[in-house]
């Protein structure tokens, strides 16, 4: 069947709440701009003063305060700051510094996948040399804010124009995705699944959310070109996240049969050693209808609605997205599903980093995918030689079934990402649930065994019973 061309790609997420921390950046002459809080005398009208400041000095007021104090936030050049300090209506001009809370927020999604229990993640409020996850994650998206205080951004590439270094994020989606995967464990803000992992911004979307296949291929191509300086046989970027989707399908031939350049590019990049994690999409339908979710070479992720970071339906929804609230611990009603899905991870009401050094709540499989990308980075940090398929098997082997899996529309029960054992060594744990059945011929002891695989252990497990006493037989 002939495909209908669809050059416009869409990001697989919906923003529902943005929490700004700093004023909106402005462009003004007179030196570098820095964030400040301008406090006015109580008798001064904030809006009126802000209008005059813009006309006189080009100052753009951001957040405005009317009750606890009168004033506003703004980014000011040295000249603008000095001008305001001389104004009789101004009580003070003070630096708008980052506020560190007593403890950073452990997002429910990160808590739910047990990243706080992983010896490799080491979430303990300490950030810096020896504490960050030693892995590289590429975010193929709208870019990443270069200087977000909660992200370890090390570089990037822009495929949307000829200005290759213009990979900053003007949309916010890419910065949010990056935080889910790898926000720093620095004592404030949020923390990602692979705290402090090195992030690479691969910008393939305009700020409007528009892209082309050629831009996607450009990003994959650039990732593939980078090799590990210490071992050129390995990729420099171990994991790539793609929270995007476009109409298309897997031809089973890496795109050669249906002329899918994106599929071919991914196949070759995977062959080069990079693990690709992608979102299933938010269409409430089959993932097999979309690319790259339908590709066998990637790890496709559906979305779980979780609001408290714990198993069991205990808490009401904390946001509305895609027109609904969802029930705690269930398959998100917006998520795509099907045999192409490899794992499920939290994707509803996820708090993460956002453009402008802020934080936001966003829902979508765009958020569940980077959680798994972070999990893949954790595994690669301690298993650097693992192939992309071995990473997939490890993630699935360590996954949990502790969610309301009966709500999965396709009945397949996607395994839930669980990275708690990553770094603890490849072992298994055996949980036995005995049941005694009494009958006329005697009693029967039945044992239900649950094998828990740790650190990606995926070998075949065989159980046997030995040393039975006389008169006791094995069924």
Q: Where are the alpha helices (H) located in 333-465, listed in sequence order? A: 365-382, 388-398
Q: Is 239 helix (H, G, I), strand (E, B) or coil?
A: strand
Residue 230 is encoded by which pair of tokens? Answer: 């210490």
**Catalytic residue among 87, 127, 173, 294, which?**
173
Q: Is 334 helix (H, G, I), strand (E, B) or coil?
A: coil
The question of whether 105 is a catalytic residue gets the answer no
For the beta sheet containing 10-11, the strands, ordered from the edge strand earlier in sequence to the opposite edge, are 10-11, 244-247, 290-291
DSSP classification of residue 13: -
Distances from the Cα of 382 to the Cα of 119, 154, 206, 216, 455, angstroms: 10, 21, 35, 29, 10
The question of whether 243 is a catalytic residue gets the answer no
Residue 403 is encoded by which pair of tokens? Answer: 């969610």
CA–CA gap between residue 425 and residue 104 (Å, rounded): 28
**Catalytic residue among 366, 405, 420, 421, which?**
366
Task: Determine the angle formed by the axes of helices 46-57 and 78-85, rounding to 10 degrees.
Answer: 130
Phi first, then psi, for residue 221 (nearest 5°) are -65, -45
Residue 100 is encoded by which pair of tokens? Answer: 């560190």
**Catalytic residue among 116, 141, 333, 455, which?**
141
CA–CA gap between residue 227 and residue 238 (Å, rounded): 10
* Strand 299-305 to 275-279 pairing: parallel
Is the alpha carbon torsion for 40, 44, 50, 55 positive or negative?
Answer: negative
The question of whether 173 is a catalytic residue gets the answer yes
Phi first, then psi, for residue 345 (nearest 5°) are -150, 160
Burial 200-229 (b: 16+ CB within 10 A, else e): bbbbbbbeeeebbbebbbbbbebbbebeee
Residue 154 is encoded by which pair of tokens? Answer: 């090390």
Catalytic residues: 141, 173, 366
């Amino acid at each position: 069947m002939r495909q209908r061309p669809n050059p416009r790609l869409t990001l697989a997420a919906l923003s529902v709440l943005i929490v700004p921390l700093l004023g909106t950046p402005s462009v003004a002459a007179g030196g570098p701009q820095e964030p400040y809080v301008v406090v006015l005398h109580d008798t001064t009208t904030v809006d009126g003063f802000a209008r005059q400041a813009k006309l006189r000095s080009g100052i753009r007021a951001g957040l405005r305060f009317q009750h606890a104090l009168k004033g506003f936030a703004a980014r000011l050049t040295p000249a603008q700051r000095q001008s305001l300090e001389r104004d009789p209506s101004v009580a003070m001009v003070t630096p708008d510094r980052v506020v560190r809370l007593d403890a950073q927020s452990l997002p429910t999604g990160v808590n739910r996948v047990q990243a706080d229990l992983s010896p490799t993640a080491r979430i303990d409020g300490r950030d810096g040399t020896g504490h960050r996850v030693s892995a590289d994650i590429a975010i193929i998206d709208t870019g990443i804010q270069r200087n977000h205080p909660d992200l370890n951004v090390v570089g990037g590439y822009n495929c949307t124009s000829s200005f290759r270094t213009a990979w900053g994020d003007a949309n916010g989606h890419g910065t949010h995705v990056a935080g889910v995967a790898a926000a720093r464990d620095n004592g404030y803000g949020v923390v990602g699944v692979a705290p402090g992992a090195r992030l690479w911004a691969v910008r393939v979307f305009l700020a409007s959310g528009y892209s082309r296949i050629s831009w996607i291929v450009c990003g994959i191509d650039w990732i593939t070109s980078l090799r590990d300086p210490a071992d050129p046989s390995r990729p420099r970027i171990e994991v790539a996240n793609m929270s995007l989707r476009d109409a298309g399908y897997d031809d089973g031939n890496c795109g050669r049969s249906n002329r899918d350049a994106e599929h071919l590019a991914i196949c070759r990049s995977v062959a080069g050693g990079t693990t690709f994690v992608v979102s299933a999409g938010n269409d409430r339908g089959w993932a097999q209808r979309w690319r790259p979710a339908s590709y066998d070479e990637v790890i496709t992720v559906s979305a779980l609605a979780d609001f408290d970071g714990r198993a069991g339906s205990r808490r009401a929804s904390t946001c509305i997205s895609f027109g609904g609230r969802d029930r705690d611990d269930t398959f998100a009603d917006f998520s795509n599903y099907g045999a192409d899905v490899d794992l499920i991870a939290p994707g509803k009401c996820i708090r993460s980093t956002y453009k402008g050094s802020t934080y936001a709540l966003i829902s979508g499989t765009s958020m569940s995918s980077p959680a798994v990308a972070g999990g893949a980075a954790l595994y690669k940090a301690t298993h650097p030689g693992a192939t992309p398929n071995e990473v997939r098997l490890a993630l699935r082997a360590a996954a949990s079934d502790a969610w309301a899996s009966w709500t999965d529309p396709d009945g397949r029960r996607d395994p839930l990402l669980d990275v708690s054992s990553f770094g603890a060594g490849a072992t298994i744990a055996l949980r036995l649930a005995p049941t005694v059945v009494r009958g006329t011929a005697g009693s029967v002891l039945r044992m239900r065994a649950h094998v828990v695989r740790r650190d990606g252990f995926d070998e075949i497990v065989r159980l046997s019973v030995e040393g039975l006493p006389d008169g006791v037989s094995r069924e």
